[in-house]
């Protein structure tokens, strides 16, 4: 079934044009505003592209290094140095991460009969046979001898792309499995594995190197390794005292960050609540007091939380106090403005009803205003608390303590990106948990489903 649209004649059209001129005669901006706005945004982005050298920055970016950093988030690198000794032997020197216990049998790094070492990258088809005078590089089962003199390490002619001559050293690439730099005095080995090395226990622990099945057996039915305490307690203690991952210190710093966010938000809420009544024009009919309080809120919130943190860190030294003060100052201004705007939009009928019985202003605000705005106030404070949990991490990096400072220290080493990933995951878990909590509480206060 089709319906026809009735047409109008010229007289009706003219009558409508006279009665509703704003519909038929749109302004220039109404007709071309979207096109002008889109063009302005495009022009602005184009100017930014050239002004900030976005193109050259992408072209000159060290993407191979970025790839290594990303791999370091979910894997670990063993980095021994195979040093050439004067007596014709090769000595292994390890980095300070302590991934293997002293004297451990390492399957991919084995001594050879000629006083050298064999380094395997997944299989014997991809390996290094290291001696002080020559390194035999095997790529897909084919040997390529790299000669070593006092002046340089030299790759053979016809070597594949995995073997690169870089000045007086030779770099061998084995993909994700790792690489090696063959130099005149040593071979710098990088051997990569999935996962995080020694995440549960460091090499000092009696549980180091044990499989999951053995650990579960020890935790449940196995004999005690320490007669003074149960194995599960022993495991928990060794986990927290892990000298490489520093779980106890990280958990402590994370708790410090949460305390900073909670206390700073709480103090900001307690101070913004009464001051918002002074800033609201319909509650306090004094323009001078309204203006002064609103400008105070503007001052407190216009200075970024990070700037406040730097200021208080210089004043009080590093620690959680500057972080709490920075959140407190910023939230007082932001919450004060939000609260004042909520107060200025309350229904005056409830206030008038309480006034009509002769109540004083305090009672009027208590029973005529607060019940209307309290759910909004609590909802906004919960949102700020959730947001400040993230912000406390950032301000911690400038000296305000907490996990932010620990995160900055790990990033500064340029070798602990797995620990960085660990702390980022902890922060994300806490943020997700607090987001769910605040959503659940807000949904109960203001109604509607939680998201």
Tell me the average pLDDT across 290-313. 89
pLDDT score of 171:
93
Q: Check pLDDT > 90 for residue 392.
A: no
How wide is the angle at C-alpha 426 spanned by C-alphas 424 and 432, nearest 5°? Answer: 100
Hey, what are 1's tokens? 């079934």
Would you tell me how many other CB atoms lie within 10 Å of the CB of residue 393?
Answer: 28
Q: Check pLDDT > 90 for residue 318.
A: no
Tell me the average pLDDT across 167-173. 92
Give the Cα separation of 135 and 180 in Å (integer): 11
Kindly give, in sequence order, each residue whose CB lies less than 8 Å from that of residue 305, ignoring residues fewer than 6 positions away: 326, 327, 330, 391, 394, 395
Q: Of the ranges 19-33, 58-72, 281-295, which one carries the lowest mean pLDDT score? A: 19-33
Residues in the chain: 451
pLDDT score of 243:
87
Selected residue with higher pLDDT from 340 and 396? 340
Q: Check pLDDT > 80 for residue 309.
A: yes
Angle between helices 320-343 and 247-279 (to 10 degrees): 30
Give the Cα separation of 96 and 421 in Å (integer): 20
The share of the chain scoring above pLDDT 70, in percent, equals 95
Q: Check pLDDT > 70 for residue 7.
A: no
pLDDT score of 120:
94
Confidence of residue 54 (pLDDT cuts 50, 70, 90): confident
Cβ burial, residue 386 (10 Å; 0-12/13-18/19+): buried
Q: Check pLDDT > 80 for residue 401.
A: no
Q: How close are the terminal C-alpha atoms of the chain, in Å?
A: 43
pLDDT in tens, 412-425: 777 788 898 999 99
Tell me the average pLDDT across 389-405. 82
Kindly give, in sequence order, each residue whose CB lies less than 8 Å from that of residue 144, ignoring residues fewer than 6 positions away: 136, 137, 138, 155, 156, 159, 160, 163
3-state secondary structure of 51: helix
pLDDT in tens, 109-163: 999 888 889 999 988 899 999 988 889 999 998 999 999 888 888 988 888 999 9
For residue 398, give the DSSP letter. I
Give the Cα separation of 6 and 4 in Å (integer): 6
Q: Check pLDDT > 90 for residue 69.
A: no
Tell me the average pLDDT across 75-101. 86
In terms of phi and psi (left: phi > 0; alpha: psi -120 to 50; beta: otherwise), the region of 448 is left
Query: pTM to 2 decimals?
Result: 0.78
CA dihedral 264, 265, 269, 275 (to 10 degrees): 50
Q: Check pLDDT > 70 for residue 98.
A: yes
User: Closest by alpha carbon to 321, among 405, 406, 400, 402?
Assistant: 400
Q: Check pLDDT > 90 for residue 71.
A: no
User: Closest by alpha carbon to 131, among 116, 144, 119?
Assistant: 116
Confidence of residue 188 (pLDDT cuts 50, 70, 90): very high
pLDDT, the chain, mean: 85
pLDDT score of 410:
83
DSSP 175-221: GGGEEEEE-SSEEEEEEEEES-TTSS--TTSTTTT--HHHHHHHHHT
Q: Within 13 Å of residue 144, how many CA atoms lie on the same side as its CB?
A: 24
Selected residue with higher pLDDT from 182 and 410? 182
């Amino acid at each position: 079934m089709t319906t026809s649209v009735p047409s109008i004649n010229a007289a009706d059209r003219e009558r409508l044009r006279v009665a509703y001129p704003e519909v038929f005669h749109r302004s220039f901006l109404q007709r071309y505003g979207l096109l002008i706005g889109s063009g302005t945004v495009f022009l602005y982005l184009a100017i930014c592209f050239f002004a900030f050298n976005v193109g050259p920055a992408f072209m000159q970016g060290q993407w191979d290094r970025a790839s290594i950093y990303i791999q370091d988030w979910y894997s670990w690198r063993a980095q021994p140095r195979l040093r050439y000794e004067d007596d014709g032997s090769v000595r292994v020197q390890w980095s300070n991460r302590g991934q293997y216990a002293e004297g451990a049998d390492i399957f991919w790094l084995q001594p050879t009969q000629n006083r050298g070492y064999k380094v395997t990258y997944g299989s014997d088809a991809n390996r290094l046979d290291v001696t002080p005078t020559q390194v035999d590089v095997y790529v897909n089962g084919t040997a390529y001898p790299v000669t070593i003199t006092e002046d340089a390490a030299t790759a053979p002619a016809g070597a594949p792309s995995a073997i690169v001559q870089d000045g007086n050293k030779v770099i061998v690439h084995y993909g994700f499995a790792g690489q090696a730099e063959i130099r005149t005095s040593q071979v710098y080995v990088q051997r990569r594995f999935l996962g995080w090395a020694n995440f549960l226990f460091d090499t000092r622990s009696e549980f180091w190197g044990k499989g999951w099945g053995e650990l579960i057996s020890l935790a449940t039915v196995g004999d005690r390794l320490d007669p003074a305490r149960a194995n599960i307690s022993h495991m928990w203690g060794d986990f927290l005292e892990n000298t490489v991952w520093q779980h106890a210190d990280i958990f402590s710093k994370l708790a410090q960050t949460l305390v900073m966010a909670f206390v700073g938000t709480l103090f900001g809420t307690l101070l913004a609540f009464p001051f918002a009544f002074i800033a609201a024009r319909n509650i306090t009919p004094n323009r001078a007091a309204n203006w002064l309080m609103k400008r105070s809120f503007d001052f407190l919130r216009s200075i970024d939380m990070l700037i406040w943190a730097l200021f208080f860190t210089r004043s009080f030294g590093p620690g959680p106090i500057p972080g709490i003060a920075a959140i407190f100052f910023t939230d007082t201004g932001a919450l004060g403005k939000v609260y004042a705007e909520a107060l200025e939009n309350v229904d005056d009928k409830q206030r008038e009803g309480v006034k009509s019985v002769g109540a004083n202003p305090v009672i009027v605000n208590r029973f005529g205003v607060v019940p209307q705005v309290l759910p909004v106030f609590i909802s906004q404070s919960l949102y700020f608390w959730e947001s400040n949990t993230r912000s406390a991490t950032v301000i911690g990096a400038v000296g305000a303590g907490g996990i932010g400072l620990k995160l900055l220290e790990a990033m500064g080493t340029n070798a602990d990106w797995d620990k960085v990933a660990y702390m980022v995951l902890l922060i994300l878990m806490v943020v997700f948990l607090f987001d769910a909590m605040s959503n659940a509480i807000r949904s109960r206060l203001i109604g509607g489903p939680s998201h």
